[in-house]
């Protein structure tokens, strides 16, 4: 081993010791309120990635889609392969500019939230995903207070995941884990259309 390699080894040994000491202080397990927001891609995709992780551990996931009901997605086909572990409810009837009917959108949002609340109350679900919930909060189709009330009384080990741009401040304040997906570069700007595997 050269002197440089020896220095690398010693440095990495110190990093490892420091990381082990840091990780040893992380002992708590609890259900998290998780928010994926921001204008970039990956909010729903990362939530569905966590769903896949959860399924892989043999634990149950409930998914309610608030606005993308009309879109057939590739992940749906995979979730359908695990019917005992995944409950998938596409409650939204499409984007709000497609329905053009506020009263119906409010009713649909309320019904979708009732489904989330039902799943959250059932401790057999390790994770519940309210996909694009932030959109309906943004349009005032649902109140953030209603969301926080359900989150507050959920079972101790249940992860509740909320996605969508423009997460309300009160939701971010209440959350344990918040990630903002920031758009650095997007191919739509270059005329590239939505493609299977990437967008759906």
Residues from 58 through 117 that contact a second copy (CB under 8 A): 59, 61, 73-78, 81-82, 95-103
Number of residues that bind a second copy (CB under 8 A): 86
Q: Which is nearer to a second copy, 81 or 145 (CB)?
A: 81
Q: Which is nearer to a second copy, 75 or 114 (CB)?
A: 75
- Per-residue binding letters, 130-169, with a second copy (x by CB under 8 A): -----------------------------x----------
Q: How far apart are CA 58 and CA 36, in angstroms?
A: 24
Q: Which is nearer to a second copy, 143 or 183 (CB)?
A: 183
Of 151, 153, 152, nearest in space to 162 by CA: 151
- Asked if 42 and 165 touch (Cβ cutoff 8 Å), the reply is no
- Asked if 34 and 161 touch (Cβ cutoff 8 Å), the reply is yes
| Closest approach of a second copy to the CB of residue 123, in Å | 14
The torsion angles phi and psi of 28, rounded to 5 degrees, stand at -85, 140
Q: Which is nearer to a second copy, 36 or 89 (CB)?
A: 36
45 binds a second copy (CB under 8 A): yes
Q: How far apart are CA 51 and CA 9, in angstroms?
A: 37
| Closest approach of a second copy to the CB of residue 178, in Å | 4
Q: Which is nearer to a second copy, 155 or 187 (CB)?
A: 187
Q: Which is nearer to a second copy, 87 or 96 (CB)?
A: 96
DSSP 130: E
Q: How far apart are CA 178 and CA 36, in angstroms?
A: 6
How far is CA 24 from each of CA 19, 33, 53, 176, rounded to the nearest angstrom? 8, 23, 23, 20
Residue whose structure tokens are 């009837």 = 93
Residues 1-30 that bind a second copy (CB under 8 A): 1, 4-5, 8-9, 12-13, 15-16, 19, 23, 25-30
- Asked if 34 and 172 touch (Cβ cutoff 8 Å), the reply is no
- Asked if 96 and 139 touch (Cβ cutoff 8 Å), the reply is yes
| Closest approach of a second copy to the CB of residue 62, in Å | 12
Of these, 3, 145, 156, 184, which contacts a second copy (CB under 8 A)? Answer: 184
């Amino acid at each position: 081993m050269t002197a440089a390699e020896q220095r690398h080894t010693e440095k990495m040994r110190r990093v490892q010791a420091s990381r082990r000491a840091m990780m040893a202080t992380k002992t708590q397990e609890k259900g998290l309120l998780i928010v994926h927001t921001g204008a970039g891609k990956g909010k729903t995709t990362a939530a569905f990635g966590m769903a896949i992780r959860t399924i892989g551990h043999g634990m149950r996931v409930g998914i309610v889609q608030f606005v993308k009901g009309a879109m057939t997605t590739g992940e749906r086909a995979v979730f359908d392969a695990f019917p005992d572990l995944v409950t998938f409810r596409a409650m939204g009837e499409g984007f709000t500019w497609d329905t053009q009917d506020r009263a119906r959108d409010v009713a649909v949002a309320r019904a979708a939230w009732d489904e989330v609340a039902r799943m959250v109350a059932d401790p057999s679900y390790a994770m519940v995903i309210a996909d694009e919930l932030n959109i309906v909060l943004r349009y005032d189709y649902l109140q953030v207070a209603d969301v926080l009330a359900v989150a507050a009384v959920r079972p101790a080990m249940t992860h509740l995941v909320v996605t969508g741009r423009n997460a309300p401040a009160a939701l971010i304040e209440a959350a344990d884990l918040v990630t903002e997906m920031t758009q650095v570069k997007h191919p739509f700007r270059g005329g590239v259309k939505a493609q299977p595997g990437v967008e759906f």
